[in-house]
Structures are given as C-alpha cells and as structure tokens.
Amino acid sequence: MNMKTTLGLILTMLGIIGVIYPVSVLTSTKEHNFSLLIVYAVIGVISVISGITMVKTTQDA
C-alpha cells in the first residue's frame, strides 16, 4: 500500500466519523447548534467522497 491509498483510507474514516458525530449529537441532546452540525456533516461528506475517490484512482505499481 502506498502513501496515497493510506491517506485515502484515513480521509474516509475521518469522514465517516464526521458524518456520524452530528447525527449522534442531534439525537442525544436537546440543545442544538444547527450551523455547527451542518458544517461537521458537510466536511464529513467531503472527506468521505475525496477519500473514496483517492483510493479508487490510486494505481498500485
């Protein structure tokens, strides 16, 4: 595994956490900061998409 694949996997994992975290905060607390939760979710989705794309496009030599 080369460095790009590893970075793609790390980005994907952090993105999944970034998507799950706002959902868990939204369901567990009564006080919500919606703008912050939306920012976390958007950054998570961007990380997941970029991580998956990086893993798919990296060619092993």
Whether the predicted model's global pTM rises above the 0.85 cut: no
Residue 26: its pLDDT value, please?
A: 84
* 1-58 pLDDT per residue, tens: 688 888 989 999 999 999 998 888 888 877 778 888 889 889 999 999 999 999 888 8
Amino acid making up residue 61? A
Residue 61: its pLDDT value, please?
A: 56
Eight-class DSSP state of 30? S
H helix runs in the chain, sequence order: 3-28, 34-57
Residue 49: its pLDDT value, please?
A: 94
Residue 32: its pLDDT value, please?
A: 76
CA 39 vs CA 3, 23, 47, 56: distances in Å: 28, 12, 12, 26
The conformational region for residue 16 under phi > 0 = left, psi -120 to 50 = alpha, else beta, is alpha
